[in-house]
């Protein structure tokens, strides 16, 4: 296949057929999140699009991988590549052609309801993980769709809020991850719901066409987010290529199966009332787009082309982009089917990867020596949800696995001492944007009387160690109200810790949480949303079968300590969120203001200890050092390199240090190794509105350390 094929098809397509390739339609099989019917007479196949970043979402089970934040905590992009390959294979196994992921918005707001779908507050970490996942997905012949382009950093008012952000900040923080994803070969990009500097992203010509397509050379498809197409002429002219879902909300829910129905609605009897307004009872004005805009590209785009309001060349470009991707992915000549990669869902390999990522992403925040647990310790397993795996947050990333391991199951399978279980707190329910469409059927009450704190305290009193599993609640389309744990989980922890001074807290959250009990417990673990292997992964780390490999890709601090505590910045006033903290997001802010985070960016203990020595620059973008495991267990270290650049004379906004690169390695006790850390060019530079990326001449200091606040060696690099 060559571009000749695409040219030939373009010349044979009628105007109506071209328009049919610019928007979604009802999926004939009811499996996909999005569907573009092919053109049978020209052998253009139908295309199926499926969410999402944590696993493949259809009606059938798929591997429920850990949250993206857990993946990023591994600081190992190779793992991202493996995960991408697994996601691609699972998509193929479910007959899907396009994966709606990865999600890679920067974690600007610690409360953001979708942080668990994203990687980091840092653009270099974000870019390396996004690129890894994209590369892996694309290697299977499935199209990856980095999303949501761009500055969709909060769910509150996501469909209307305007991110007021200056060019330099966009270029240095919010755009680089997308650039890296595009450079890694992404075949599609999803535009976001929000506005940027007043203009809806679906019709943001400068960002969609001038930056993404012209400047970065992206030749793939820009698709809208679902019901996120603001106009016809405006979006088509600005560079939007594909309107999704292309149908109304009612049609979409009907095709995917409304509650209690088969996918084709077959079991609804004639004469039944149509499904109720799915948005009723939900404040969609705040978190949801307008569901009536689904079908704007149907007749209206054809009319606009015929009236000359959208040039036919633009329509051709839209279609060419889609066909080029189908061609590249072997969908036009069927060569994808004969490629090396075969589809496969829920394989032993994918189950192992789900567990492996959860282990490698687990961050040991504090440990007074209680961990790892002795094999024969008597253990009390406490917490509202210890009998279920925490799969993820609510919304389009939800995945239903074929199998899962709860914390109780994981610990019971591993422990050699006695295990007692006491939940100690009513279940903390999952919340989901889908509840707005399919209200809870009220199964509360089936659980019997609320568990009591006293039972948890009694269990802790009899045990050598108390493991308290706590969680937050997060969903797409809403932000977390607080960084505190919901309900009375803090009180539960305090009560257990008062009884047993070997209390370990494992928090399963979408992002940073507040830990007012930090000084009163013996260890704190951030387990994020670990997915289907929750219990097995937790047991592996708690018992020391695996070293906690994770480091924080986001800063942990009390809510009021983040720059977004100012309501002008978040959630914004009068429809505008002012990004006037500029570059000082995450650790850049804490470093610049000398504020003490609870747990700094990059932090995380190993069960081993490490010494760094003999650092040197081997060229002007690579440093090398020796790392030695000075502990008595095998452990994994993540070396981080932060760059402090000579500030330009008038550059008062520059953060003190910016992560330039990182590298991880596992070492046996006493073993040492040389390791190279490659530095991202952007960490040396700054974006100048007139000059573009500029590196200031002079000495750049590269600090090597275990976290943004534990820097051990400096290496100068002259530029
Ligand atoms: C989300 C996207 C998702 C799409 C399709 C939207 O609500 O923002 O991330 O891919 O729905 O489910």
The protein residue with its alpha carbon nearest to ligand 1, atom 8, reads 225
3-state DSSP helix/strand/coil % of the chain, to nearest 5: 30, 20, 50
287-301, 357-371, 402-416, 569-583, range with the lowest pLDDT: 287-301
Asked if residue 64 has pLDDT above 80, the reply is yes
Within 13 Å, how many C-alpha atoms sit on residue 271's CB side? Answer: 0
Helices (H) and strands (E) in the chain, counts: 21, 25
470, 489 contact by CB (below 8 A)? yes
Q: Please say if the pLDDT value at position 531 is more than 70.
A: yes
Q: What is the mean pLDDT of residues 119-143?
A: 97
| Cβ proximity of 507 and 525 under 8 Å | yes
SS3 127: helix
Residue nearest to atom 6 of ligand 1 (CA): 226
CB 648 within 8 A of CB 708: no
Q: Three-class SS of residue 700? A: strand
State the helix-helix crossing angle for 407-414 and 534-542, rounded to 10 degrees.
50
pLDDT band (50, 70, 90) for residue 272? very low
Around Cβ 633, how many Cβ atoms within 10 Å?
Answer: 14
User: Tens digits of per-residue pLDDT, 484-505?
Assistant: 999 999 999 999 999 999 999 9
| Residue in 225, 241, 430, 479 annotated catalytic | 225
Q: Using a 6 Å cutoff on CB, does residue 203 contact ligand 1?
A: no
How many whole angstroms from 478 Cα to the centroid of ligand 1?
Answer: 13
How far does residue 225's CA lie from ligand 1's centre (Å)? 6
Pocket-testing residue among 50, 152, 476, 478, ligand 1, by greatest number of atoms within 8 A of Cβ: 476
Centre of ligand 1 from the C-alpha of residue 79, in Å:
24
Does the beta carbon of 52 lie inside 6 Å of ligand 1?
yes
pLDDT given at position 345: 97
Question: Of all protein residues, whose CA lies closest to atom 9 belonging to ligand 1?
Answer: 396
Centre of ligand 1 from the C-alpha of residue 176, in Å:
22
Mean pLDDT (whole number) for 604-616: 98
Confidence band of 446 (pLDDT split at 50, 70, 90): low
Any ligand 1 atom below 6 A from CB of 118: no
pLDDT, residue 651, reads: 72
Percent of the chain with pLDDT over 70: 93
Q: How far apart are CA 407 and CA 387, in angstroms?
A: 6
Of 706 and 270, which is predicted with more confidence?
706
> pLDDT band for position 440 (50/70/90)?
low
Among this protein's residues, is 225 annotated catalytic?
yes
C-beta of 645 in contact with ligand 1 (< 6 A):
no
pLDDT average, residue stretch 65-93 = 98
100 lines ligand 1 (CB under 6 A): yes
User: Is the CB of residue 557 below 6 angstroms from any atom belonging to ligand 1?
Assistant: no
Structure tokens at 180: 């890296």
Q: Quick check: CB of 598 below 6 Å from ligand 1?
A: no
- Measured distance CA(284)–CA(463) in Å, rounded: 47
Q: Does residue 293 surpass a pLDDT of 90?
A: no
Ligand 1 center–CA 200 separation, angstroms: 16
CA of 190 to the centre of ligand 1 (A): 9
Is the per-residue pLDDT at 275 higher than 80? no
Q: Output the CA 51–ligand 1 centroid distance in Å.
A: 7
337: pLDDT strictly greater than 80: no
Q: What is the pLDDT of residues 554-581, one digit of tens each?
A: 999 999 999 999 999 999 999 999 999 9
505 lines ligand 1 (CB under 6 A): no
Beta strands in 65-183 (DSSP E): 98-99, 143-144, 162-164
End-to-end CA separation in angstroms for the chain: 45
Helix axes 123-138, 176-183, angle to 10 degrees: 20
Q: How many residues does the chain have?
A: 719
pTM for this structure? 0.95
pLDDT at 291: 83
User: Looking at residue 279, what is its pLDDT?
Assistant: 41
Question: Per-residue confidence at 263, pLDDT binned at 50, 70, 90?
Answer: very low
The answer to whether residues 474 and 528 touch, using CB atoms and an 8 Å cutoff, is no
Q: What is the mean pLDDT of residues 507-519?
A: 98
Instruction: Please give the DSSP secondary-structure letter assigned to residue 449.
Output: S
> Which mutation among 51, 91, 282 tests ligand 1's pocket best, with the greatest number of atoms within 8 A of CB?
51
Ligand 1 mutation pick, 226, 245, 249, 433, max ligand atoms within 8 A of CB: 226
In the predicted model, is pLDDT for residue 661 greater than 70?
yes
Task: Confirm or reject: Cβ of 396 under 6 Å from ligand 1.
Answer: yes
What is the pLDDT at residue 264? Answer: 37
Among candidate residues 156, 146, 35, the one with its CA nearest the CA of residue 96? 35
Q: Is 569 in the pocket of ligand 1 (CB under 6 A)?
A: no
Residue 269: per-residue pLDDT = 37
Output phi, psi for 666, to 5 deg: -105, 135
Per-residue pLDDT band at 342 (split at 50, 70, 90): confident
Residue having the nearest C-alpha atom to atom 7 of ligand 1: 226
The pLDDT of residue 575 is 96
Q: Which atom of ligand 1 is nearest to the CA of 158?
A: 8
Kindly give the distance from the C-alpha atom of residue 336 to the centroid of ligand 1, in angstroms, as a whole number. 26
Rounded distance between C-alpha atoms, residue 702 and residue 717, angstroms: 7
* pLDDT reported for residue 444: 52
- Does residue 51 line the site of ligand 1, with CB under 6 A? yes
Q: How far apart are CA 479 and CA 477, in angstroms?
A: 7
Contact 478, 287 (CB under 8 A): yes
User: In the predicted model, what is the mean pLDDT of residues 537-542?
Assistant: 98
More confident residue, 150 or 286: 150
Report the residue among 50, 194, 395, 399 best suited for mutation to probe ligand 1: largest number of ligand atoms under 8 A from its CB.
395
Whole-number Å distance between alpha carbons of 582 and 89: 40
Average pLDDT, the chain: 93
| Ligand 1 site, residue 469, Cβ cutoff 6 A | no
What was the pLDDT predicted at 249? 83
What is the position in ligand 1's atom list of the atom closest to the CA of 57? Answer: 12
pLDDT of residue 274: 37
Spacing, Cα 396 to ligand 1 middle (Å)? 5
Q: Mutation test of ligand 1: which of 57, 192, 225 has the most ligand atoms closer than 8 Å to its C-beta?
A: 225
Phi, psi of 165 (to 5 degrees): -140, 135
DSSP state of 308: T
Q: Which one, of 353, 357, 339, lies nearest residue 140 by Cα?
A: 339
Q: Report which ligand 1 atom has the smallest distance to the Cα of 51.
A: 10
Ligand 1 proximity of 329 Cβ (cutoff 6 Å): no
Window from 117-131, 177-191, 261-275 with minimum mean pLDDT: 261-275
Mean pLDDT of 654-660: 95
Instruction: Give yes or no for residue 282 having a pLDDT over 50.
Output: no
Q: Compute, in angstroms, the gap from residue 253 CA to the centroid of ligand 1.
A: 14
Q: For the chain, give the percent of residues with pLDDT over 90.
A: 87
Q: What is the mean pLDDT of residues 206-235?
A: 97
- Supply 389's token pair: 């795996």
Residue 576, CA distances (Å) to 162, 567, 678 in order: 5, 10, 38
Tokens 């088509």 appear where? Answer: 236
Which residues lie across from 259 on neighbouring strands?
Answer: none
Q: Tell me, letter by letter, the H, E, C secondary structure of 11-69.
A: HHCCHHHHHHCCECCCCCCCCCCEEECCEHHHCECCEEEECCCCCCCCCCCCCCCCCHH
Does the pLDDT value for residue 356 go beyond 90?
A: yes
CA nearest to 511, candidates 121, 120, 115:
115
| Ligand 1 centroid, distance to 245 Cα (angstroms) | 10
Least Cα distance to 654 among 698, 623, 619 occurs for 698
Token pair 């595009």 is found at 182
Q: Is the pLDDT of residue 285 over 60?
A: no
Q: Which residues on adjacent β-strands are paired with residue 507?
A: 470, 526
Q: Whose CA is nearest to atom 3 of ligand 1?
A: 396
What's the pLDDT score for residue 256? 67
Q: Greater confidence, 122 or 648?
A: 122
Closest alpha carbon to 523 in 599, 585, 451: 599
- Inter-residue contact 76 to 119 (CB < 8 Å): no
């Amino acid at each position: 296949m060559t571009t000749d094929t695409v040219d030939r098809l373009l010349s044979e397509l009628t105007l109506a057929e071209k328009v049919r390739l610019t928007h979604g339609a009802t999926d004939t099989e009811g499996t996909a999140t999005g569907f573009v019917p092919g053109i049978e007479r020209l052998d253009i196949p139908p295309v199926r699009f499926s969410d999402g970043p944590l696993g493949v979402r259809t009606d059938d089970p798929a591997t429920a991988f850990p949250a993206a934040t857990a993946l990023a905590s591994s600081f190992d992009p190779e793992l991202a590549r493996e995960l991408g390959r697994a996601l691609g294979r699972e998509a193929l196994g479910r007959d899907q052609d396009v994966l709606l992921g990865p999600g890679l918005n920067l974690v600007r707001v610690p409360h953001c309801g979708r942080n668990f779908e994203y990687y980091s507050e840092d653009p270099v970490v974000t870019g390396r993980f996004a690129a890894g996942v994209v590369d892996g997905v694309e290697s299977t012949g499935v199209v990856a769709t980095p999303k949501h382009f761009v500055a969709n950093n909060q769910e509150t008012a996501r469909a209307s809020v305007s991110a007021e952000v200056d060019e330099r900040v966009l270029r240095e923080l919010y755009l680089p991850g997308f650039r890296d994803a595009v450079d890694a070969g992404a075949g599609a990009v999803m535009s976001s719901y929000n506005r940027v500097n007043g203009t809806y992203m679906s019709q943001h010509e400068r960002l969609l066409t001038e930056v993404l397509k012209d400047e970065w050379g992206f030749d793939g498809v820009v698709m809208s987010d679902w019901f996120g197409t603001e106009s016809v002429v405006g979006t088509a002219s600005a560079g939007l290529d594909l309107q999704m879902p292309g149908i109304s909300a009612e049609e979409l829910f009907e095709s995917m199966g409304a509650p209690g129905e088969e996918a084709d609605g077959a079991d609804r009897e004639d004469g039944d009332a149509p499904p109720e307004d799915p948005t009723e009872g939900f404040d969609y004005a705040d978190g949801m787009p307008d569901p009536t805009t689904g079908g704007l590209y149907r007749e209206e785009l054809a009319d606009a082309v015929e009236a000359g309001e959208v040039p036919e060349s633009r329509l051709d470009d839209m279609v060419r982009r889609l066909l080029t991707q189908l061609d590249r992915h072997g969908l036009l000549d069927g060569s994808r089917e004969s490629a090396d990669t075969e589809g496969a869902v829920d394989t032993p390999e994918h189950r192992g990867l789900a567990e492996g990522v959860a282990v490698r992403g687990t961050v040991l925040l504090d440990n007074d020596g209680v961990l790892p647990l002795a094999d024969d310790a008597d253990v009390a397993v406490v917490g509202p949800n210890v009998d279920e795996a925490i799969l993820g947050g609510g919304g389009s990333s939800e995945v239903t696995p074929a199998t899962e391991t709860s914390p109780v199951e994981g610990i019971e399978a591993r422990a050699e001492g006695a295990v007692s279980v006491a939940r100690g707190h009513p279940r903390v329910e999952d919340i989901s944007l889908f509840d707005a469409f399919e209200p809870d059927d009220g199964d509360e009450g089936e659980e019997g009387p609320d568990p009591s704190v006293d039972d948890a305290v009694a269990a802790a009193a009899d045990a050598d160690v108390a493991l308290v599993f706590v969680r937050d609640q997060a969903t797409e389309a809403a932000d977390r109200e607080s960084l505190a744990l919901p309900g009375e989980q803090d009180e539960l922890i305090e009560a257990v810790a008062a009884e047993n001074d070997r209390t370990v807290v494992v928090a399963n959250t979408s992002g940073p949480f507040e830990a007012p009990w930090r000084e009163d417990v013996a260890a704190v673990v951030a387990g994020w949303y670990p997915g289907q292997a929750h219990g097995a992964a937790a047991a592996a780390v708690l018992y020391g079968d695996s070293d906690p490999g994770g480091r924080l890709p986001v800063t942990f601090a009390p809510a009021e300590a983040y720059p977004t505590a100012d309501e002008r910045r978040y959630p914004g006033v009068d429809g505008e969120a002012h990004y006037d903290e500029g570059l000082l997001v995450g650790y850049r802010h804490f470093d610049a203001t000398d504020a003490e985070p609870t747990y700094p960016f990059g932090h995380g203990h190993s069960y081993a200890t490490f010494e760094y020595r003999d650092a040197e620059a081997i060229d002007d973008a690579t440093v090398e050092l020796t790392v030695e495991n000075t502990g008595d267990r095998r452990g994994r270290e993540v070396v981080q390199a932060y760059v402090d650049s000579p500030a330009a004379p008038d550059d008062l906004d520059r953060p003190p240090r910016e992560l330039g690169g990182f590298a991880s390695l596992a070492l046996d006790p006493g073993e040492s190794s040389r390791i190279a850390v490659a530095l991202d060019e952007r960490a040396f530079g700054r974006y100048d509105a007139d000059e573009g990326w500029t590196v200031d001449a002079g000495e750049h200091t590269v600090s090597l350390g275990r976290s943004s606040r534990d820097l051990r060696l400096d290496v100068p690099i002259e530029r």
